[in-house]
């Protein structure tokens, strides 16, 4: 028997070595062929070679053949990459708006507690020059780059104040700006339900959420809602820290499985929990991905929370950052992760996706059953399926058009110039006169106000014309067009219920910052309202 085992071990080792040699040979062959092609192009190609562009295009194409998340980051994009993964950058902490290249830079929204806010910059203030150089002739991107810089350095602005029109010099010391992951935390109207909206998973989130949860509980919280809608994820370590707040120490949160070299890792909570009994609700949608799905999947599998909303994105891949020559970086997929019940959240394939990139319909016949801690059935196949499905509001084509074309933004900037202050967020409402002012304002702006039905009609008529069928149906088509036609102002007026919340939110954040804007969101949030009315799952 021992001889047989030794023979099998030797055979296995031989196969592994042969496989490794084969992979290394193929890799070496590929590199050699690629180098030979580049050398021959350099010697013989008729025009000057765009070497940099060719190289980066080749790298991007190579990585795109793997998965959407393995990407090369050249040195020139390191700052943008840091902003993407860490939500940090060096600057003054304000969003800007530049309507024309030869115009001023308008402060659109300073962040709460930022250097810009501390220096007294307000929405509507116009920056005329940066460090003595006029902003006229600069694009919005170029202006933004001049405002950014190493923390601790000084930048000087010439500013025309929005209301007084006075031109003042405003020196600001740049800081490391970190956009908060917790956009809002507080008790809802009933005084017993705690609500927290989390938009990312960067360093320190777990500790901050733990602290805020304790504070809400001390204020009388009896039920907790964690809103992860639209949260694309971030650090796995912070997801584990969040789960640790609600489950016993040592609980399995997630398992990652990579190739033979990376292996398998089981991640457990290492901190003592804060609360093992309080009812929890997690809100998710198709924008909830990665670390959001780790938190949601773990608390669902451990029967610790009721998940409500719509199915999550379906990103069950783990990425790591690897340094490359010349200060580049490689964000590389190293493993797939699995929830405590054994589910892989990753979509079965990348081809069946919705328009927003989230996982599409997967028939049950292609999925597998798993069991939660108390025996409830959950399934894999892509994303986390909620315990209680609640569909969110789908915005109209006209609402998207008004926002995309900057009509709402332009109106809000105009509103700020005419109002020195507003009521607190909980008391702020757009008046009837202000709504009428928006209608008049929008009527003069350029945007496509056609309804979805009208755009379909236009496409249908075009195709009928191409097929030679339009003339024979002209009377019917003209009648339908007349029924669908609506003037711009009437089209906007018809969407009042949808547009007023958008306008109110944009106005409020200009005066009272982002957290106040979330208060407006909560006021009109149908999904949250239905979640609060829905019974929680019974764990037996």
Last residue of a domain, one of 178, 201, 233: 178
289 within domain boundaries: yes
CB atoms within 10 A of CB 17: 10
Question: What are the angstrom distances between the C-alpha of 286 and each of 15, 230, 385, 401, 539?
Answer: 43, 7, 10, 22, 26
d(CA 528, CA 383): 21
Which residue in 293, 290, 309, 311 sits closest to 301, CA to CA? 293
Catalytic residue list = 290, 301, 315
205 and 270 both lie in a single domain: yes
348 and 202 both lie in a single domain: yes
At 397, list the tokens: 């084509």
498 within domain boundaries: yes
515 within domain boundaries: yes
d(CA 200, CA 205): 8
Q: 187-229, pLDDT tens digit by residue?
A: 999 999 999 999 999 999 999 999 999 999 999 999 999 999 9
CATH number of the domain where residue 242 is located: 3.90.226.10
56 and 88 both lie in a single domain: no
CB contact at 8 A, 370 and 380: yes
Residue 119: Cβ-neighbour burial (10 angstroms; 0-12, 13-18, 19+): middle
Last residue of a domain, one of 348, 371, 392: 392
205 and 316 both lie in a single domain: yes
> In the prediction, which pLDDT does 80 show?
72
422 and 508 both lie in a single domain: yes
63 and 154 both lie in a single domain: no
126-130 and 105-110 strand pairing = antiparallel
523 and 447 both lie in a single domain: yes
Quickly list DSSP for 262-275: T-EEEEE--S--S-
d(CA 336, CA 318): 6
445 within domain boundaries: yes
148 and 206 both lie in a single domain: no
d(CA 88, CA 151): 11
At 286, list the tokens: 């198709």
306-309 and 280-284 strand pairing = parallel
CATH number of the domain where residue 151 is located: 2.30.42.10
d(CA 66, CA 296): 27
416 within domain boundaries: yes
510 within domain boundaries: yes
Domain of 505, in residue numbers: 397-451+486-529
Q: Helix, strand or coil for residue 94? A: strand
- Can you give the pTM of this predicted structure? 0.86
509 and 405 both lie in a single domain: yes
> In the prediction, which pLDDT does 71 show?
86
Which residue in 113, 285, 215, 193 sits closest to 522, CA to CA? 193
Which residue in 312, 494, 482 sits closest to 397, CA to CA? 494
Which DSSP state fits 353? B
d(CA 353, CA 343): 19
At 371, list the tokens: 């069991």
The structural domain count of the chain equals: 4
> In the prediction, which pLDDT does 357 show?
66
> In the prediction, which pLDDT does 1 show?
44
241 and 209 both lie in a single domain: yes
CB contact at 8 A, 449 and 391: no
> In the prediction, which pLDDT does 37 show?
83
Q: At what angle do helices 236-244 and 291-301 cross, to 10 degrees?
A: 30
28 within domain boundaries: no
Q: Helix, strand or coil for residue 105? A: strand
> In the prediction, which pLDDT does 346 show?
86
280-284 and 223-227 strand pairing = parallel
> In the prediction, which pLDDT does 503 show?
98
476 within domain boundaries: no
Q: Residues in the chain with pLDDT < 50?
A: 1-16
262 and 304 both lie in a single domain: yes
Last residue of a domain, one of 377, 392, 407: 392
159 and 193 both lie in a single domain: no
d(CA 482, CA 282): 47
Give the distance from CA 194 to its chain's centroid: 23
């Amino acid at each position: 028997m021992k001889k047989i085992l030794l023979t099998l071990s030797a055979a296995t080792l031989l196969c592994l070595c042969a496989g490794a040699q084969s992979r290394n040979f193929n890799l070496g062959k590929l590199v050699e062929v690629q180098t030979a092609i580049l050398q021959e192009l350099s010697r013989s190609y008729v025009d000057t070679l765009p070497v940099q562009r060719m190289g980066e295009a080749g790298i991007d194409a190579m990585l795109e053949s793997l998965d959407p998340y393995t990407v090369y980051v050249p040195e020139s994009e390191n700052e943008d990459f840091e902003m993407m993964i860490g939500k940090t950058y060096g600057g003054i902490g304000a969003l800007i708006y530049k309507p024309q290249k030869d115009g001023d830079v308008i402060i659109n929204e300073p962040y709460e507690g930022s250097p810009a806010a501390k220096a007294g910059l307000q929405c509507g203030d116009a920056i005329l020059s940066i460090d003595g150089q006029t902003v006229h002739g600069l694009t919005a991107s170029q202006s933004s780059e001049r405002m950014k810089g190493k923390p601790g350095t000084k930048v000087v602005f010439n500013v025309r104040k929005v209301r007084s029109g006075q031109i003042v010099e405003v020196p600001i010391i740049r800081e490391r700006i970190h956009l908060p992951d917790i956009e809002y935390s507080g008790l809802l109207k009933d005084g017993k339900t705690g609500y927290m909206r989390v938009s990312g998973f960067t360093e320190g989130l777990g500790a901050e959420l733990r602290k805020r949860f304790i504070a809400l509980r001390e204020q009388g919280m009896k039920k907790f809602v964690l809103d992860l809608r639209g949260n694309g994820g971030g650090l796995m370590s912070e997801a584990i820290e969040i789960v640790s707040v609600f489950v016993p120490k040592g609980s399995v949160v997630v398992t990652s499985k990579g190739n033979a070299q990376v292996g398998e890792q089981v991640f457990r909570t290492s901190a003592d929990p804060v609360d093992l009994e309080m009812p929890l609700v997690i809100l998710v949608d198709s924008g909830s991905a990665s670390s959001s799905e780790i938190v949601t999947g773990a608390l669902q599998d451990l029967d610790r929370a009721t998940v409500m909303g719509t199915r999550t994105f379906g990103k069950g891949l783990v990425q790591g950052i690897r340094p490359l020559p010349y200060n580049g970086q490689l964000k590389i997929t190293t493993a797939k992760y699995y929830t405590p019940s054994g589910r892989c959240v990753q979509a079965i394939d990348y081809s069946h996706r919705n328009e927003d990139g989230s996982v599409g319909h997967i028939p049950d016949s292609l999925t597998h059953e798993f069991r939660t801690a108390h025996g409830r059935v959950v399934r894999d196949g892509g994303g986390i399926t909620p315990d209680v499905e609640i569909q969110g509001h789908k915005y109209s084509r006209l609402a998207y058009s008004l926002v995309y074309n900057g009509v709402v933004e332009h109106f809000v900037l105009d509103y700020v110039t005419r109002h020195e202050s507003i009521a607190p967020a909980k008391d702020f409402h757009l008046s009837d006169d202000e709504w009428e002012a928006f209608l008049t304002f929008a009527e003069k702006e350029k945007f496509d106000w056609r309804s979805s039905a009208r755009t379909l009609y236009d496409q249908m008529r075009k195709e009928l014309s191409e097929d030679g069928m339009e003339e024979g149906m002209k009377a019917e088509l003209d009648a339908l067009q007349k029924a669908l036609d609506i003037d711009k102002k009437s089209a906007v007026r018809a969407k009042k219920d949808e547009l007023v919340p958008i306008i109110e939110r944009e106005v409020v954040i200009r005066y009272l910052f982002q957290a106040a804007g979330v208060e407006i969101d909560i006021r009109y949030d149908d999904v949250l309202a239905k979640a609060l009315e829905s019974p929680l799952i019974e764990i037996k």
